[in-house]
Amino acid sequence: RLPSGKPGKDGAEVITRFCANPPPDVVLLITANDWSKAHQGKWTEAVGRIGTIAVAWAIKPHELSDWIERRLRAHGLRADAGAVQRLSERVEGNLLAAAQEIDKLALLADGKTLDLEAMESLVADAARYDVFRLAEITFSGQPAAVIRMLAGLRAEGEAVAALMPILIKELLRTASLAKVQANGGNLAAEMKAQGLWESRQAPFKRALQRHPEPRRWERFVAEAGLVDRMAKGRADGDAWVGLERLLVAVAEARAVRLLA
């Protein structure tokens, strides 16, 4: 597994040597969470010569409704905008669940156009929640989705303390970007320097448009530290309430007063 998509110098050499003389009874599977042209090199060329490189881009939250609508049409189904949106909410982030629900709808819809009420009665709640998607919708500016996802994470038994490292990391990253932006620096170059390639930049750009002041991000980071201490029993307060207020404030500029 290559979380960053880069094996490092030593790792690249090991992979290249393996590909030069692969054992006949060994299958090497390399998975990466991030990928772009910057990740390509001699080791990827070596892999490509003896195997296959397949890149699968994740569907982003704002793309899910269009994906669902296209898949519905491919199954001969029609649904109004409200029905498509509800199915998107129910299976947010889980394409397998969405595909399974659409397969089921193809059997149950009986050629009728699906409205919101029909969709409600036919689909199950199969939303998939994780901290990375939570961070993405927060920075993208979707407060309602933030609240819904936090409720899902809590219902699944997730702990606030387990969520905070990633969230604090992203807040610190954005705080540094806000300083570059405020000082008239090259924001695009700084994003790339921090490993944010084009496919991941949009949520951060939206967040910086909502909150351009570096001090605002310093406040968010400080608030995240407080929530983290709450989660670990080192500060008074409900960590879930504190986390919701923080993330909604990041997602919606008018909600910053919640932190007062």
* Residue-level pLDDT at 246: 98
- How many helices, marked H, and strands, marked E, lie in the chain? 13, 2
Query: In this predicted model, what pLDDT tens digit does every residue of 91-130 receive, in sequence order?
Result: 767 788 888 889 888 888 877 889 988 887 787 655 556 7
- Res. 152 pLDDT band, cuts 50 70 90: confident
List all residues 6 or more positions away from 60 whose beta carbon is below 8 Å from its beta carbon: 136
Region 211-229: mean pLDDT is 97
Residue 252 has pLDDT above 80, yes or no: yes
Element (H, E) at 78: strand 78-79
Summary mean pLDDT of the chain: 88
Of 12-26, 57-71, 218-232, minimum mean pLDDT range: 57-71
* Residue-level pLDDT at 3: 73
* Residue-level pLDDT at 33: 74
Region 36-55: mean pLDDT is 83
Residue, of 61 and 11, whose pLDDT is higher: 11
* Residue-level pLDDT at 147: 94
**Residues 153-158: contacts with CB within 8 Å, 24+ apart?**
153/129, 154/240, 156/129, 158/129
Q: What percent of the chain has pLDDT over 90?
A: 50
* Residue-level pLDDT at 79: 94
Q: What domains are there in the chain, each with its CATH number?
A: 8-50 (no CATH), 61-122 (1.10.8.60), 131-259 (1.20.272.10)
Q: With contact defined as beta carbons under 8 Å apart, do 35 and 66 qualify?
A: no
Write out the two tokens for 71: 């898949």
Residue, of 55 and 185, whose pLDDT is higher: 185
Region 175-203: mean pLDDT is 90
Q: Which of 92, 115, 91 is nearest to 103 (CA)?
A: 91
- Res. 227 pLDDT band, cuts 50 70 90: very high
Evaluate if pTM is beyond 0.85.
no
